[in-house]
Structure 1
Amino acid sequence: MSEQALFPTLAVVLAAGQGTRMRSSLPKVMHPVGNRPLLGHVLATVERAGVERLAVVIGPDSPVLADYVQQLAPHAQCFVQRQRLGTAHALLAARPALQAHTEGCVLVLFGDTPLLSEQTLARLRQTLVDGAAVAVAGFTTEQPGPYGRLLVEEGRLRAIREAKDASPQELAINLCNGGVMGFRADQCLWLLERIGNSNAQGEFYLTDAVMLANDAGLSVVVVEVAEEEILGVNDREQLHAAEQVFQRRCRQQAMRAGVTLAAADTVFFSADTELATDVSIEPCVVFGPGVSVAGGARIAAFSRLEYTHVENEPA
């Protein structure tokens, strides 16, 4: 049995954001990439990663989210953040789940990051298994701009510095905060309850746990991931960017699995598209939800398919 199997994990997905920049009555995390809601991608990643326990934090005005979570992950607990007072406050909305999970680790994810992989969750878990109290997903970028900078000394993360508070030297750092974090379960609540809101916004920031952990002599480390993995969706432009990454991944995966794409950039997939080997796809094809294609089948140009299975026609 692996170390991770002996180190049970609770994933808490924060999905209470209003998403006002989407300019939509639909909750932000219900906007689709690959015909699957953003939140659905995150929940699927949690399942593939083999996470044993799941909690989702939603807003007070989002019954559609609670219904969706119940449908997709009936074992998950849903909690309501009635006031939006920051990321640490959102995580504490799931206090009953945190109190019940006293061993192993806690992964804190966001419902608007559809490109996160199960491999990254496994790496965060392993870092905690190896002795870190806090693990932070970070990424290197040539355009750090507004991102919080990760200040690392001798392999340890000492602080997360918001761009507006950073010195010129710190602004030159291109290792940035990806938001996703992991905690040892026996330290998580202890740290969360010590986070204050003495800042201009009067909010409780989860990133303050890094400083508190360091002050307590606990180990805090960075797990570096690809920038696209932690791409958060806050507006329609970022939704479009996430869709492009998702489609590129699907095309690459299909071709590596033995599917021929005559004009790959003109083929569009859904998150649940299933293609067997030796499928041949002509240009300008759209796979809607619920499509599977048998081995050897050919999909003609300018086809759009939904909720169907395509068999190979005999010669």
Structure 2
Amino acid sequence: MSNIGVVVLAAGLGTRMKSTKPKVLFELCGEAMIVHILRKAYEISDDVSVVLSYQKEIVEAKIKEFFPKIKIYEQNLKEFPGTAGALKDVCLTSEKTIIMCGDMPLVKTNDLIRLSSANADISVSIFEAANPQGYGRVIMNGSTIEDIVEQKDASESQRLIKSVNAGCYCFKSEALKKILPLIQNQNAQNEYYLTDAIKIANKLNLKCSAVLVDEQNFMGINDKFQLDIAQNLMQKEIRKKWMQAGVLMRLSDTVYIDSRAKFEDECEIEENVSIIGECVIKNSKIKSSSVIENSVIENSDIGPLAHIRPNSHIKNTHIGNFVEVKAGKLNGVKAGHLSYLGDCEIEEGTNVGCGTITCNYDGKAKHKTKIGKNVFIGSDTQLIAPVTVEDNVLIAAGSTIASNIPSGALAISRTKQINKSGFFYKFFGAKDEK
């Protein structure tokens, strides 16, 4: 839709977040709210701009990680505060311009398409609020919007109106160019309100229409409580999408799934599981209270109470309870319980005994452990990286492996056991009852 441009207003200070972090960089389901919004914008347009101010360099850097060709503008909050002030220097090149806020991560692409498809010079998203407190009131005359009055400027009778401004607009760009210079800041906040465009448009005999939207989709986030509400709503949508695609979830309300995660084939997710980051789960079962981070799981079962840390690729493998894998590549492995497998490659047929540790860090750098096929690792084994264990090896329980092991070998690293007769009684001064 090359005739549509999108401008996202993200210059606010976000003081109610009680944080030095820019509000639009707070995350929902793994991604900054501004990233969620811009992804929707790019689904309908290649002409996308963002207006920034507070910590501009930090926000711009994050945005350009994902959208390197986006146009960035800076608002002069001191001289031109407000939503209309944000548009002062924006170059409008498309036939129509959608204007939306940077704190509405639940907005849907279809909502933006409906808004841009309205036959009007200005179309405004509105909804009927059960509690209109804080919203701009929409003054209607039949199907035409006559005015939008901000809460602080509204009269007592206007405050009773429940039709409110959802904060997203679509202008014919030529109309917006005419209107912007006419907006003044004579109001309680001394700001340049974009909502004043409606009254001005009516004086210019331009058509202003309302587009009824779902309040939930246009929820703005002003504090961390609202951030939590929005994330819960987004989580419900994510879980619903994947369950409808065939993923079985047990006690789904307890499951957390990142917005970037993907599932393939038949998967099962048990309660209290967290799938974090850009994970791919394929034909696998993730058992209760396990955490998967930025990893690929194929044809495997994980957990319960397992932790798969970033950059792991686990295939045809059983990972049991209290096993932690970090940057591990495992194919056809059994690691049943109580092990740490970091910076390792383990091949098919290998059994990892309870208490096994790949000692990957020497205090300065991380090192890799390579374990071949059909290796049996006895319980309580430490493998001090860098080390290679070739195929068809036995490692005795309680061993500390600091050197490579050749194929076919048995590796034992233990001190000789010594039993000192009667020492218990000598130590505690007790009588030898033998």
The whole-number CA distance in structure 2 between the counterparts of 1:109 and 1:269 is: 27
Q: Specify the SS of the correspondent of 2:210.
A: strand
Q: Specify the SS of the correspondent of 1:40.
A: helix
* Alignment gaps of 5+ in structure 1: none
Which of 60, 70, 77 is the equivalent residue of 2:64? Answer: 70
Considering fraction of residues, name the structure with more helix.
Answer: 1
Letter in structure 2 aligned against 1:73:
F
Q: Which residue of 2 aligns with 1:57?
A: 51
Considering fraction of residues, name the structure with more strand.
Answer: 2
The higher-RCO structure (CA 8 Å, 6+ apart) is 1
Q: CA deviation at 1:144?
A: 1.3
Q: CA deviation at 1:172?
A: 3.0
Q: Which residue of 2 aligns with 1:271?
A: 259
The whole-number CA distance in structure 1 between the counterparts of 2:213 and 2:189 is: 29
Which of 167, 174, 177 is the equivalent residue of 2:165? Answer: 177
Distance 1:281 1:17, change over 3 A: same
Letter in structure 1 aligned against 2:114:
R
CA contact (8 A) 1:257 1:277 kept: no
Q: CA deviation at 1:34?
A: 0.6
* Alignment gaps of 5+ in structure 2: 301-315, 318-434
Q: Specify the SS of the correspondent of 2:182.
A: coil
The whole-number CA distance in structure 2 between the counterparts of 1:203 and 1:167 is: 19
Q: 1:167-205 CA deviation, whole Å, 9 max, x = no partner?
A: 444333222111111100111111111101112322100
**Backbone CA RMSD of aligned residues:** 1.6
Letter in structure 1 aligned against 2:83:
T
Q: Is 1:117 aligned with 2:111?
A: no
Q: Which residue of 2 aligns with 1:303?
A: 290
Q: CA deviation at 1:276?
A: 2.2
Q: Which residue of 2 aligns with 1:239?
A: 227
Moved more, 303-312 or 158-167: 158-167
CA contact (8 A) 1:152 1:158 kept: yes
Letter in structure 2 aligned against 1:88:
A
Q: 1:40-60 CA deviation, whole Å, 9 max, x = no partner?
A: 110111122x21201111115
The whole-number CA distance in structure 2 between the counterparts of 1:275 and 1:193 is: 50
Distance 1:169 1:277, change over 3 A: farther
The whole-number CA distance in structure 2 between the counterparts of 1:189 and 1:245 is: 37
**Matched length:** 300
CA contact (8 A) 1:8 1:52 kept: no
Q: CA deviation at 1:82?
A: 2.7
Q: Which residue of 2 aligns with 1:81?
A: 75
Q: Which residue of 2 aligns with 1:14?
A: 9
Letter in structure 1 aligned against 2:6:
A
The whole-number CA distance in structure 2 between the counterparts of 1:240 and 1:74 is: 29
Q: CA deviation at 1:216?
A: 0.9
Q: Specify the SS of the correspondent of 1:243.
A: helix
Q: CA deviation at 1:278?
A: 2.5
Q: Which residue of 2 aligns with 1:226?
A: 214
Q: Which residue of 2 aligns with 1:204?
A: 192
The whole-number CA distance in structure 2 between the counterparts of 1:141 and 1:151 is: 14
Larger Rg: 2
Which of 157, 161, 166 is the equivalent residue of 2:149? Answer: 161
Q: Specify the SS of the correspondent of 1:139.
A: strand
* Correspondences of 1:255-270 after superposition (within 5 Å): 255-270=243-258
Q: 1:54-77 CA deviation, whole Å, 9 max, x = no partner?
A: 111111532111111222111111
Sequence identity (%): 30
Q: CA deviation at 1:277?
A: 4.2
The whole-number CA distance in structure 2 between the counterparts of 1:300 and 1:199 is: 57
